[in-house]
Amino acid sequence: MTVNAVKAFQKSIKIPVTGVADKNTINLLIKASAVPKASNGKTENQQNTSQVFTFKKGTPGSLSGKIVVIDPGHGFNDPGVTRENVYEKTMTLDMGLRLKRILTEAGAMVIMTRATDGNSGYNSLYYRSAVANKLIVDLEREKLEKENAEFEKQMSNFQNLLISKGAELEKLNSEDREINKQKIDDLTKEIAELTESSDELKEKIDLNKTRIEDLYNMSLTFNYYIEQPSYKERYGIMKNPLEMAKVFELTKEKYNKDIVFVSIHCNSTTAETQTSASGVQVYVQTENDTYYTDYYNNYDYERRKILGMSLLQELNLSTGFSKKYTSLFKSRLSVLRENNLPSVLVEIGFFNNPSDLKIIKDQQQRENASFGMYKGIEKYFEYWKK
Ligand SMILES: [Zn+2]
């Protein structure tokens, strides 16, 4: 390390600039070099020579009990937009993983549609919604399995009671039936009631069993897509409207309060370079889309819009793009259409605007953008507490 490099380091971490690598400086250097390497091989500090990189933190417990599905756009042999050797797929994954770290600190459970570049080819759009849909059917199946385990316990209590009451009745009948008449009548009534309750419970158990099997089969179908991310055959509301409607209704009825789906992308217009294109755009599912009147259209638009606006506002605050959008974009994008969680797609900056790209390439700015998404998600859940 040269004297100038030592000076630069001392300046960057705001300790006296002497150019001498004394014990204190060396200790701080060791600490700084322990910062994880970024995707381009430079440490966080080397990315920002003018200031020290700051990790943003989630507030512990602020999102406990919540689940966030993060969908980093593109991956593997689908790079997305590319400029200056920077790939959209790399930036979306980077921001997705940062968001995961912050959300986990806040106590949320995070599910990534991809946590690496991928190794089995292109991740189809149906694969991405399959991750969300499988989550829903698995949660419901696990709930019913737990419920049935409880029911089975109750059932075995009923059976034991019926056996002992039956034996008691037999004994009374074998003795003096005139003297025991009242007792026999009471016991007979009790046994009849127990039998009725046990029959009702049996019906519930059987109903749950059918439902569990149904959910298990749906889970297998979604899993087929999850295990083969490149599988291009469509499985969605236009191909399998009735099956998908079942999952969508289940999501809306029971699972859209504590779970959200966020797809992360970066933007570009068709022009090679366009300096007027800038900022964060947030997409939500088109309301009452006449194009799809024959298919499912019972999305929870209110939740989607509130999630979208919360993310847009917080992303505008946390990023330094020259343009700030103030309203949402509506679209029938697959990742919004093919699952029924409150779902949004965020486009963070324009690759074909050099000033936007400069921001996207800066790790601190990406950390800030991820923190903005976290704040948006937190704000969304706060909204429903009121
Ligand atoms: Zn994209």
Token pair in block for residue 53: 């990189």
Distance 73 CA to ligand 1 centre (A): 5
CA 352 from chain centre, in angstroms, equals: 29
Distance 341 CA to ligand 1 centre (A): 20
Distance 265 CA to ligand 1 centre (A): 4
Token pair in block for residue 158: 């009923």
pLDDT of amino acid 138: 98
Q: What is the pLDDT of residues 131-144, one digit of tens each?
A: 999 999 999 999 99
Distance 346 CA to ligand 1 centre (A): 9
Name 72's bridge partners. 264
Strand ranges for the chain from DSSP E: 67-72, 82-83, 86-87, 109-112, 259-267, 280-285, 329-331, 343-350
Distance 284 CA to ligand 1 centre (A): 15
Q: Domain locations in the chain?
A: 3-34, 67-124+241-385, 144-225
pLDDT of amino acid 233: 80
Top-level class of domain 67-124+241-385 = alpha beta
Token pair in block for residue 72: 């980093």
Name 86's bridge partners. 83
Average pLDDT for residues 315-340, to the nearest whole number? 97
pLDDT of amino acid 123: 80
Residue type, 262: V
Distance 243 CA to ligand 1 centre (A): 29
Name 285's bridge partners. 331
C-alpha dihedral sign at 171, 173, 174, 178: positive
Distance 223 CA to ligand 1 centre (A): 24
Distance 80 CA to ligand 1 centre (A): 5
Distance 263 CA to ligand 1 centre (A): 9
Distance 227 CA to ligand 1 centre (A): 22
Instruction: Report whether pLDDT(315) > 50.
Output: yes
C-alpha closest to that of 314 among 386, 382, 384, 378: 378
> Do β-strands 109-112 and 259-267 pair in parallel, antiparallel, or remain unpaired?
unpaired
Q: What is the pLDDT of residues 115-171, one digit of tens each?
A: 999 877 778 899 999 999 999 999 999 999 999 999 999 999 999 999 999 999 999
Q: Give the DSSP letter of residue 111.
A: E
Give the mean pLDDT of the chain: 89
Average pLDDT for residues 26-42, to the nearest whole number? 46
Name the least confident of 3-12, 76-85, 157-166, 222-231.
3-12
Distance 252 CA to ligand 1 centre (A): 27
Average pLDDT for residues 241-270, to the nearest whole number? 96
Higher-pLDDT residue of 178, 131: 131
Distance 72 CA to ligand 1 centre (A): 9
Distance 288 CA to ligand 1 centre (A): 25
Distance 13 CA to ligand 1 centre (A): 36
Distance 352 CA to ligand 1 centre (A): 13
> Do β-strands 329-331 and 280-285 pair in parallel, antiparallel, or remain unpaired?
parallel
158: phi then psi, degrees, rounded to nearest 5: -60, -45
CA terminus-to-terminus distance, the chain: 56
Instruction: Report whether pLDDT(231) > 90.
Output: no
Average pLDDT for residues 101-127, to the nearest whole number? 91
C-alpha closest to that of 244 among 254, 234, 256: 234
Distance 74 CA to ligand 1 centre (A): 6
Distance 52 CA to ligand 1 centre (A): 30
Distance 28 CA to ligand 1 centre (A): 39
pLDDT of amino acid 8: 57
Residue type, 239: K
Distance 81 CA to ligand 1 centre (A): 7
Distance 94 CA to ligand 1 centre (A): 14
CB atoms within 10 A of CB 109: 16
Q: What is the pLDDT of residues 50-86, one digit of tens each?
A: 678 999 999 999 999 999 999 999 999 999 999 999 9
- Which protein residues have their CB within 5 A of the ion that is ligand 1? 73, 80, 265
Q: How confident is the model at residue 178 (pLDDT cuts 50, 70, 90)?
A: confident
Distance 345 CA to ligand 1 centre (A): 9
pLDDT of amino acid 9: 52
Order of all β-strands in the sheet with 280-285: 109-112, 67-72, 259-267, 343-350, 280-285, 329-331
Distance 109 CA to ligand 1 centre (A): 25
Instruction: Report whether pLDDT(105) > 60.
Output: yes
Distance 43 CA to ligand 1 centre (A): 26
Token pair in block for residue 211: 């439902």
Length of the chain: 386
> How far is CA 215 from each of CA 4, 220, 259, rounded to the nearest angstrom?
64, 9, 19
CB atoms within 10 A of CB 90: 20
Distance 56 CA to ligand 1 centre (A): 25
Q: What is the pLDDT of residues 57-67, one digit of tens each?
A: 999 999 999 99
Residue type, 308: G
Distance 79 CA to ligand 1 centre (A): 9
Separation of alpha carbons 214 and 223, rounded Å: 14
Distance 266 CA to ligand 1 centre (A): 6
pLDDT of amino acid 38: 46
